[in-house]
Amino acid sequence: MASEPTTVTITGAGGQIGYALLFRIAAGDMLGPDRPVRLRLLEIPQGMRAAEGAALELQDCAFPLLHDVEVTDDLLTAFNGTSIALLVGARPRGPGMERGDLLAANAGIFGPQGAAIGAVAADDVRAVVVGNPANTNALIAAASAAPDIPADRFSALTRLDHNRAVGQLADVLEVGPGDIADVIIWGNHSATQFPDVAHATLADGRSVLEALAERLGNREAATAWLDDVFIPRVAKRGAEIIEVRGSSSVASAANAAIEHVRDEQLGTHRGWTSAAVVSRGEYGVPEGLVCSLPVVSRGDDRGYRIIEGLEFDARARARFEASVDELVAERDAVRALGVL
């Protein structure tokens, strides 16, 4: 093999998203065709057999880039020397469970995982949280990894929301998804998120707002479509998938996680993307919150950099603030549990 393998840890590897992730990572879709990988699959005891079965199948693929696979239910083994952690396994909301119960259950998962990453991961480790509530789970993991690992090495996945927004626009504008740049998801990976096209452009140089007005008749029709169709459809797409499929998104979530890590590691190309990253106060977001913002990466050791200085109108600002308020409430609920 060309170079030293990169250790990648996937938690919840025996679950649905885990199964959709493993084979693509081993095939080189995440880190490119030149970087061999060593996979560490973390599960809880109930999920071990499923993860072990996936490991057998990985062996049967004989991927040239796959150095080795280890399945474990031990945190320190899973994160030992890891450079990339995909934190997928989480406690789903059960019957009668309140949001506070869910936050408490997940604090019990992401606290110890963050601490283990702080203790034994590689110096260059970066972790992305997929398991919900993703932003606040990332906040908990980052706080638990301190002071060994800087908080900004942790992020949460809103690339799926970003891709959903691009998919909706491509459909209505009858253009390729690759022709659309600079869409933004602001806020939380929840129904309060604000999918924003105010800065988005098309490959032919038009703004998305201009193209929508042409397509739908005029500016008012474009604004009505954004308010009544686009924003709620993107923000509630997770629920729509659950209703139609009978369980939450899997392949699209795994794809988004792979794109999130790939762009962070190798660099973004045309325009920016969206990721939930640790705020240093940009756009008035309280410092330390893990909030979806527009980001770019140059593929260097700084990871994602926040695009600053974009303007909001009053309606956009109100939507963004509502989502940030929800993140503040989640953080405060976790603080009340004594976790942060």
Residue positions forming the annotated binding site for substrate? 93, 99, 132, 164
Structure tokens at 2: 């060309």
Which of these, 334, 163, 328, 137, lies nearest to 238 by C-alpha position?
163
Task: Please count the residues of this chain forming the interface with ligand LMR, following the rule CB under 6 A.
Answer: 7
Which residue lies nearer to ligand NAD by CB, 141 or 197?
Answer: 141
77 binds ligand LMR (CB under 6 A): no
Are 159 and 273 in contact, with CB atoms under 8 Å apart? Answer: yes
Which of these, 55, 29, 43, lies nearest to 131 by C-alpha position?
43
The catalytic position among 189, 199, 260, 269 is 189
CB of 105 to ligand LMR, least distance (A): 15
Q: CA-to-CA distance for 41 and 49, rounded, in angstroms?
A: 11
Spatial neighbors of 50 by CB under 8 A, at least 6 apart, are 14, 15, 19, 43
Which residue lies nearer to ligand LMR by CB, 15 or 238?
Answer: 238
Among 16, 77, 207, 223, binds ligand NAD (CB under 6 A): 16
Residue 241 interacting partner from ligand NAD, ligand LMR, none (CB closer than 5 to 8 Å by kind): ligand LMR
133 binds ligand LMR (CB under 6 A): no
Residue number, nearest CB to ligand NAD: 15
CB of 323 to ligand LMR, least distance (A): 14
The one segment of 2-10, 209-217, 248-256, 295-303 that binds ligand NAD by CB under 6 A:
248-256
16 binds ligand LMR (CB under 6 A): no
Residue 207 interacting partner from ligand NAD, ligand LMR, none (CB closer than 5 to 8 Å by kind): none
Spatial neighbors of 119 by CB under 8 A, at least 6 apart, are 76, 79, 148
The helix (run of H) or strand (run of E) holding residue 19 is helix 16-27
Looking up tokens 């201009």, which residue turns up? 210
12 binds ligand LMR (CB under 6 A): no
∠ at Cα 127 (63, 254), nearest 5°? Answer: 50
- Residue numbering of the annotated binding site for NAD(+): 12-18, 106, 113, 130-132
| Backbone φ, ψ for residue 194 (5° rounding) | -120, 100
Among 241, 276, 291, 295, binds ligand LMR (CB under 6 A): 241
Residues 82-121 that bind ligand NAD (CB under 6 A): 88-90, 92, 109
Q: What share of the chain is helix, strand, coil (3-state, %, to 5)?
A: 50, 15, 35
| Backbone φ, ψ for residue 137 (5° rounding) | -60, -40
The helix (run of H) or strand (run of E) holding residue 294 is strand 290-297
248 binds ligand NAD (CB under 6 A): yes
The one segment of 12-20, 165-173, 241-249, 288-296 that binds ligand LMR by CB under 6 A:
241-249
Q: Is 162 a catalytic residue?
A: no
Helix (H, G, I), strand (E, B) or coil at 160: helix
Cα–Cα distance list, 103 to 5, 237, 339 (Å): 35, 22, 10
| DSSP tag of 290 | E
248 binds ligand LMR (CB under 6 A): yes
Residue 131 interacting partner from ligand LMR, ligand NAD, none (CB closer than 5 to 8 Å by kind): ligand NAD
Enumerate binding residues for ligand NAD (CB under 6 A).
11-12, 14-18, 42-44, 46-47, 88-90, 92, 109, 130-132, 134, 157, 160, 189, 248-250, 253
Please give the positions annotated as active site.
189
